[in-house]
Amino acid sequence: MRSYPPRIEEEKSVEQGPQLSAGERSAILDQEIAKYAHRGYVLASRTPTSAQLVKRKKWSLFWSVTWFLVFVIPFFLYIVYYLAKRD
């Protein structure tokens, strides 16, 4: 039977900036939430270290008219063409 050397897991040191307190992290999160709220996002849920934001749907008149022109009008033109066509 083959013997493998023992597995040694080293701690990887990651350089990080100064550790922030929970209050400081919460204050930074509040600032970011305010920025996104200004852009139209709504706060759905929040914990001391995370937040979930959602952006509500809004109606676009441009796309409504565009899709109407692209699909509905040609459909009715085809119906008129079909009914006017002789057998």
The DSSP result for 60-79, as a single string, is -HHHHHHHIIIIIHHHHHHH
Flag whether 13 is in a domain: no
Structural domain count, the chain? 1
**Has residue 16 been placed in a domain?**
no
Task: Show the domain range for 27.
Answer: 22-84
Task: Please state whether the predicted TM-score (pTM) of the whole model is above 0.75.
Answer: no
Instruction: Judge whether 14 lies within some domain.
Output: no
Within a domain: residue 39?
Answer: yes
Residue 9 lies in a domain: no
pLDDT by position in tens, the chain (length 87): 555 555 545 555 556 667 888 899 999 999 999 999 999 999 999 998 899 999 988 899 999 999 999 999 999 999 999 999 987
Specify the pLDDT at position 87.
Answer: 78
Cα(1)–Cα(12) distance, integer angstroms = 33
Q: What is the pLDDT of residue 86?
A: 86
Residue appearing with tokens 């493998």: 4
